[in-house]
A and B are shown apart, each in its own frame.
Chain A
Amino acid sequence: MSGNSRPGRPGFLALELDGDGAHPAAWRKARHAPDELLNGARIRSTVLAAESAGFQVATFADGPVSSGRDVAGRLNALQRAAFAGPVTSSIVLVPEVDTVYTEPFHVSTQLASLDYVSGGRAGWLVAASGSTEEAAAVGRSFAEGAALAQEAAASVEVSRRLWDSWEDGAVIRDVATGRYLDVDKLHYVDFETPSDFAGPGYSVKGPSIIPRPLQGQLPVVAQAGLLPSDADVVLVSAPTTSLLAAEVAEVRRAIAGGGAVVGGGAVDRIGPAVVAELDVVLDSRGQSASARLAELDAFTPWSSSRARFVGTAAELAGFLAGLLAVADGVRLHPAVLDVELEELAQLVLPELRRRGALKPFAQGGTFRELLGLERPLSRYASPGSEN
């Protein structure tokens, strides 16, 4: 298989659930008062709406709210995902989690815990945003450029090693010998930052404090270019909708050129899954998408590095069907969550399902299963030790 086109294979749709939507003035068109945004009830209702609409993945942005936005508050993304875990049953929950100004040991444990509370539906959207504000908050010097990518790679490597540091079946509860653990299945990770590490170097001893996550390894999601050799899902942006499919194909070619075959015989994709990023504004309740956008922009202009689709639900369904023929998935960033999600649920996703462009709904499935990734053996396990 060429790897750069997959005619007829269905993909998945992800929905970014931050705040009231991706538009900085989204809160003005939300169907609730501002002070009803930052609570559990709001998370419950949006994530359940996304799940019942048929989205396979929900993502949760994190970090300081940037100065270009009207809304000045944001709950921790990993906790929002954890809150959503027990109230949902099929949607994959992927919080953005920082790698630069957080402790890797904590991050690893938190993400493993998210996998437990969601029944194996967790992923990690790796952030290395590197704002001066985040650096000042924890009293660290500001990292940027290559140093950020190095921090991200180190943090991901620590987590991956810690997730493997308890082999599967390390908890044996052997009454006869009185042993709760099989200590031979626990491993020190002994991570050290490389000698050319730009930031303050560090080490992490291990093992983890929590048994191996349900998925073994949580899928790692990153913007294209951040983790060249270590992402399971790569997010691809383009300046316009017309360039997006070509950019997806280009990133896939670049990855496949230097990448490894992922998984066993069941998977014929080369390299990580490629997911296109798309801002979305739709016609709604008799108002055209462009009029809605103009109205929102009059309050606060929306600048975004993502391609933006502005049009009808039918046009979007056609566009996504074409895009899903080249991408493994598409992540939608709705302008106004309350408005766009209604249109997506009623008109767009049903049409995509009719066309066979969407993967079937998988109750109780894991994120790895959605991506077609096998559950890996711990790197510390000796061959054949899965028995």
Chain B
Amino acid sequence: MTQHNRAKFQPSGKIQFGIFFQGVNSGTIWKAPESGSQTDFESFRRIAQTAERGLFAAFFLGEGLRLREHLGRPHALDVAGRPDAQTMLAALASVTSNIGLVATQNTTYNDPADLAHRLASLDLLSGGRAAWNVVTTDNAWTGANFRRGGYLDHADRYVHAEAFVETAKRIWDSWEDGAVSSSVTADSWAGPGHARRVHHSGQHYSVDVTPRLPRSAQYRPVLFQAGDSPEGRDFAARQADVIFSAHPKFDDAVEFRADIVSRSLAAGRGANDVQIMPASEFILAATYEEAREKKEWVRSLQIGPQQAVAYLEQFWGRELSAYDPDGPLPEIDPVVEETSETRGSGFHGAKARQLAEQWRAEAKEKGLSIRQFVSSRTSRVDSTFTGSYAAVADTLAEYARVGAVDGFNISPWLIPTGLDDIVNHLVPELQERGVYPTEYVGSTLRENLGLATPVRSEPLVPVQL
């Protein structure tokens, strides 16, 4: 590709799907009879194999490092509890063959050499299908479960994350291609200097390691990143292959794309080098009317009366069970927390009073009850595609045509059957429109996403072992 082409964004004309299996959340319905276990392997196998049947590019797992709390105790109302991402993905690697396996992993509570090794391991085990969704945390609340604790300043977290990611890339790139012999009559298992020692000494880490794995079929794990602040976007533009964005609405997506393209170019990368896959929810049926009805049903199961009150309690910082979920928002003020820790929820103490006032005014103006208001807050209006299979396919085809996004990360509201209608009905509609793959392009995630082979992160300097 010429330099000229690299500087100009070109829509691929295709939409890819990923599935985001959420282990701790209020979006997954557990009250319906057809909702399955969130921890049994069969749930994961069933949904991963369905996604693969639908030619999904990737299977994502979130990460939990501390159980969410509500009013000082573990939160009782929503789905909670999930397996370790990489352990689960290693198991899924043996029962799938093409789908990418994406582990959300935190840079703050891991060591670079250890995490890079485990991701490289997953990458080899899966034949080049591993990816890392890079996340950062800076709070001591989560740190209470780790030896590293809450040692990181908020301002430092991207500096810290970037040093981590760069070290990981050097570890993944440390073996020359073809370092391990491919002949049964070879004289040595690997050539001399097959691994280069990786040394990093910085503010947060000291790493001195001789990596013990060769490169995979896709060279190194694909990197996903979800940061949305200016610093987060710049970090992603410099380091990531795919951004797991929060901008699925068309105009917003187009604007986000333009911003990422300019940041990628500024970082010295090509205009198409960073792909975008927003998180989304699909509520589909044969007709629009049926889909609307289904949406009502989904919402009623996601936000029951107890969930609605508890949602407000998170922000009010106090018990509100005396309030009628079908009545107006509480007139009493939130308890303002001394601490600014996030407690695993959206709560921010200092802004609580202001927020409560704002919400009361909004609910009053629109005539909404607690339940209706909370439903409107949490229904992910911007990230939900509701409609007939054909109409949603038309909408997605338009995204593909202009290159607003490269695909969507679907959060199914039902486990493990939540992708069935998408795979059985939406995917064929998209294929008919020529905007969705009809087969896996290759066996690696990098090939299936259409990503270029990564450039080696540093020159080869063999060391004597």
Contact = CB atoms under 8 A, between A and B. Distances in A.
Interface of A: 27, 32-35, 37-40, 43-44, 64-65, 67, 70-76, 78-80, 82-87, 101-106, 109-110, 112-114, 116-119, 133, 136-139, 166, 171, 173, 175, 177-183, 186, 200, 202-211
A209 B65 contact: yes
Contacts of A205: 66, 144-145
B73 interface: yes
Contact of B94 (A87, A136, A139, A166): A87
A72 B84 contact: no
B207 A137 contact: yes
B111 A138 contact: yes
Contacts of B335: none
B184 A112 contact: no
13 contacts: A34-B182, A72-B195, A82-B91, A102-B114, A103-B147, A105-B145, A178-B307, A181-B80, A202-B147, A202-B149, A206-B145, A210-B84, A211-B81
Contact of A138 (B73, B80, B95, B207): B207
B208 interface: yes
A180 B118 contact: no
Contact of B113 (A85, A86, A138, A207): A138
Contacts of B210: 64, 133
Contacts of A183: 73-74, 76
Contact of A179 (B66, B76, B126, B149): B76
B341 interface: no
Contacts of B39: 116, 210-211
A114 B87 contact: yes
Nearest to B125: A40
Contact of B86 (A33, A105, A110, A116): A110
Interface in B289-344: 304-307
Interface in B164-195: 180-184, 186, 188-190, 194-195
Contact of A171 (B81, B117, B207): B81
Nearest to A63: B212
Interface residues of B, number: 77
Contact of B306 (A76, A166, A177, A181): A177
Nearest to B41: A117
A106 B63 CA distance: 11
Contacts of A44: 94
Given A86-B94, A180-B78, A113 B145 contact: no
Most buried by A among B81, B109, B306: B81
Most buried by A among B65, B90, B206: B90
A78 B94 CA distance: 14
A137 B81 contact: no
Given A73-B213, A103-B109, A138-B207, A207 B74 contact: yes
A38 B213 contact: yes
Nearest to A87: B94
Contacts of B182: 33-35
A222 B342 CA distance: 39
Interface of B: 24, 30-31, 38-41, 45, 64-67, 73-84, 86-88, 90-95, 109-111, 113-114, 117-118, 121-122, 124-127, 144-149, 180-184, 186, 188-190, 194-195, 205-210, 212-214, 304-307, 465
A21 to B, nearest CB: 13
Contact of B83 (A105, A112, A173): A112
Given A40-B126, A83-B90, A202-B146, 4 more contacts: A38-B214, A78-B90, A82-B91, A180-B30
B303 to A, nearest CB: 10
Nearest to B77: A178
A177 B309 CA distance: 13
A70 B213 contact: no
B65 A139 contact: no
A125 to B, nearest CB: 16
B121 A76 contact: yes
B67 A84 contact: no
Contacts of A84: 94
Given A139-B205, A183-B73, A79 B86 contact: yes
A85 to B, nearest CB: 5
Nearest to B149: A202
B189 A72 contact: yes
A87 B95 contact: yes
A70 B31 contact: no
A39 B124 contact: yes
Contacts of A33: 181-184, 186
Nearest to A70: B189
Given A85-B41, A117-B41, A137 B93 contact: no
Contact of A180 (B77, B145, B214, B305): B77
Contacts of B127: 39-40
A181 B84 CA distance: 19
B384 to A, nearest CB: 22
A90 to B, nearest CB: 16
A276 to B, nearest CB: 29
B125 A80 contact: yes
Most buried by B among A73, A75, A102, A116: A73
A67 B95 CA distance: 35
B117 A76 contact: yes
Most buried by B among A44, A102, A137: A137
Given A76-B121, A80-B125, A205-B66, A210 B110 contact: no
Contacts of B146: 103, 105, 202, 204
A47 B79 CA distance: 35
Contacts of B110: 103, 106
